[in-house]
Amino acid sequence: MVLYTDAVTEARRDLELFDLERLAAVVQAHRHESVERVRDEVLTAVDAFSPRQQDDITLLVLRHS
């Protein structure tokens, strides 16, 4: 489960948003890794997409074991 604030999906590069599809793709690509790695990969992807992100990001990644 990934919980996030709108700062993740609404990160901007010009008029383009990071959006839910990009978030889902990052999570899917790292789904077999640790929750810490998934978190780090999402944050890295958002930062690479929108390096001047001004909004605070909150991200919680949980896995049931």
Q: Which pLDDT score is estimated for 54?
A: 80
- The amino acid that residue 45 corresponds to is A
Q: Is the pLDDT of residue 15 over 90?
A: yes
44: domain range?
2-61
Please state, in angstroms and rounded to a whole number, the distance separating the CA atoms of residues 36 and 49.
20
Q: What is the pLDDT of residue 37?
A: 98
pLDDT reading at 53 higher than 90: no
Number of domains forming the structure of the chain: 1
pLDDT-above-90 percentage for the chain: 91
pLDDT at 20: 97
Q: What is the mean pLDDT of residues 9-32?
A: 97
Q: What is the CB neighbour count within 10 angstroms for residue 26?
A: 19
